[in-house]
A and B are shown apart, each in its own frame.
Chain A
C-alpha cells in the first residue's frame, strides 16, 4: 500500500516537473478563468427573470448556479479526457513501453497519470470561484468545505470509470472514443449544468437521473451554495459511489483486456 502511494506520488511529481517547464499557460489560465466568471455574471444579469428565480433553489442567483454548473462540469470533462490523454502522450513520447516494463502495475500507471490533471482541474475551479467571489459577489461564505471535498471525491470516483472505459477504447481503436463526446453532449443538456433538471421533459429527466453528473452537480450546489452537511446530501453521494462501485471494476477489467488484446495483436504502440 505504502509503495503504491509512493508510486502515485512519483507520477504526480513527474507531471509537476513537466508542467514547471511551461510557464505561460498558468498565467493564461488565470485570465481565462477571469473571463469565464465574467461571462457567467453578465449572462446571469441579462437573463434574470421571475420565472428563472422560481426555477432555481431558493436564494440562489443564476450567476452562482450557472458558474458552479459550468466549472464542475469540467470534472466530467477532465475524467473523460485525462486517461485518454495520458495514454496518447505516453504512446507518442514512446514512454508507454518503458513504463510497462517497470514493476508498477498498470492500474498505478493509470491512476498516477490522472492525479495531476485532477489537481489542476480542482485548482482551475478554485480560481473561477475566487474570481467570482472577488469581483461578482459569488457567495463563497455559504459553502460547507468538508461537504465540497466529499462530493469532489465521490464525483471523481464515479467519473473516472467512464474515463478509463474511454481509454480502453482508445487502446483498441487508436482514436478517441466517440461515446465520450456523446456523454459530454448529453450531460451538458440533461445534467443540470446551466438549468435545473426539473424544467426538462419527463423522458429527459429519466436520462438525467441515469447520469452521475446530475447527482454530482446537485450535491455540489448544495455544498457550495447552501452550506449543506454531508448527511444532508447522503443520497446523491451514495448514488455517485454506486456508480463508482459498478464502473471502476468494469472499466479496469476492460482496460486490462484491451491492453492484453493489443499485446496479442502487436498494436500497443500503433498510432
Chain B
C-alpha cells in the first residue's frame, strides 16, 4: 500500500505514528492487529521500519556489526542472525559492504543496509519512507522488484510505503492512500483512482484529487 501526498501532507507523520515513534493527538490505528499507542511493544515485534532520511547506523562500526547489534536488540540469536544477514546481503548485493565501516559506504548502499536491518526479524509489516530516494535508476528498479517479489509475494510481508515516484507506486502498490494536509482524500487501487477521476494517468488523478490544475504537455513550451 502506498502513501501519496504533497510535501507536508502527513505521510511521514503517519508512518512514524505506526512505528510507535509519535503519539497521535486523535484517531486510532492497528498494526498487525496491535495498537501502536496502547501496545507499542507488540507492534514493534511485528514491524520493520526504514526511515527515508536519518538511516541511523553507528558510522564507525561495520555494516555487519551494526546489523548484529540491532538484530540482537530484536531478540535474534547469533546463529539466526548469521544466516539472515548472509542470505539478505546476498540478495541485496551487500556482501562486499558488510565488513566495511558504515561511514565509508555510499548513500545507496546505506539505504539497502537500512532495509536489510528492517527485514532481519522477518516482520509482518514493513514501513518504508521514500525507500528509493538515494538509489540510482538501476538500483531503484532492482530494489522495487525485490520488495515486490521477495518481501511481499514470497514472505507475505505487508508493505506500507510513502513515495513521490508515481511509476514506483503503480508498480508496487495494490492500493493507494492519497493524503492532503493531514486528511485522507482517497483510498483505492491505482486503476480505480484513475477511472474514478477520469484521468489517463496516476499523476493526473493525483493532481485532480489534491485540487491542483492539470497541465497538458502542450502548455509546457520551451523558453
Are A260's CB and B21's CB within 8 A?
A: no
**Which B16-36 residues have a C-beta within 8 angstroms of A?**
16, 19-23, 25
What total of A-B pairs shows CB separation below 8 Å?
81
CA distance A263 to B101 in the complex (A): 31
Are B61's CB and A264's CB within 8 A?
A: no
Q: Is B69 engaged at the interface, CB distance under 8 Å to the other chain? A: yes
Q: Which of A10, A94, A103, A266 contacts B54 (CB 8 A)?
A: A94
Q: Is B145 engaged at the interface, CB distance under 8 Å to the other chain? A: no
The B interface is mostly helix, strand or loop, or mixed, namely: loop
The smallest C-beta distance from B111 to any residue of chain A, in angstroms, reads 13
- The segment from B43-51, B91-99, B147-155 found at the interface with A is B43-51
Q: Which of A94, A97, A103 contacts B75 (CB 8 A)?
A: A103
Are A93's CB and B56's CB within 8 A?
A: yes
CA distance A95 to B117 in the complex (A): 12
Chain B residues contacting A94 (CB-CB under 8 Å) are 51, 53-57
The smallest C-beta distance from A98 to any residue of chain B, in angstroms, reads 4
CA distance A95 to B66 in the complex (A): 10
* Also in contact, A266 and B22, with CB within 8 A (given A18-B60, A96-B56, A98-B70): yes
Are B21's CB and A97's CB within 8 A?
A: yes
* Also in contact, A101 and B21, with CB within 8 A (given A10-B72, A14-B69): yes
Are B73's CB and A103's CB within 8 A?
A: yes
CA distance A93 to B41 in the complex (A): 24
Chain A residues contacting B20 (CB-CB under 8 Å) are 100-101
Are B73's CB and A99's CB within 8 A?
A: yes
Please give me the residue from chain A that is nearest to B55 by CB atom.
A94
The smallest C-beta distance from B54 to any residue of chain A, in angstroms, reads 3
Chain B residues contacting A263 (CB-CB under 8 Å) are 21-23
Are B45's CB and A103's CB within 8 A?
A: yes
The A interface is mostly helix, strand or loop, or mixed, namely: helix
Q: How many residues of A contact B (CB 8 A)?
A: 28
CA distance A99 to B65 in the complex (A): 15
Q: Which of B21, B65, B69, B75 contacts A268 (CB 8 A)?
A: B21
Q: Which of A17, A103, A269 contacts B44 (CB 8 A)?
A: A103
CA distance A103 to B41 in the complex (A): 6
Are B58's CB and A93's CB within 8 A?
A: yes
Q: Is B74 engaged at the interface, CB distance under 8 Å to the other chain? A: yes
Chain B residues contacting A18 (CB-CB under 8 Å) are 58, 60-61
Please give me the residue from chain A that is nearest to B41 by CB atom.
A103
* Also in contact, A95 and B51, with CB within 8 A (given A7-B73, A101-B44): no
Q: Is B59 engaged at the interface, CB distance under 8 Å to the other chain? A: yes
**Which A67-107 residues have a C-beta within 8 angstroms of B?**
93-104
- Kindly list the 7 A-B residue pairs having the minimum CB-CB distance in the complex, ordered from nearest: A94-B54, A102-B73, A98-B56, A94-B56, A21-B60, A263-B23, A95-B56
- Could you list which residues of chain A lie within 8 angstroms of chain B, going by C-beta atoms? 3, 6-7, 10, 13-14, 17-18, 21-22, 93-104, 260, 263-264, 266, 268-269
Give me 30 A-to-B residue pairs in the complex whose CB atoms sit less than 8 angstroms apart, sorted by A's number: A10-B72, A10-B73, A17-B61, A18-B61, A93-B58, A94-B51, A94-B54, A94-B56, A95-B56, A95-B57, A96-B56, A97-B49, A98-B56, A98-B70, A100-B20, A100-B21, A101-B19, A101-B21, A102-B70, A102-B74, A103-B41, A103-B73, A103-B74, A104-B73, A260-B23, A263-B21, A264-B22, A266-B13, A266-B22, A268-B21
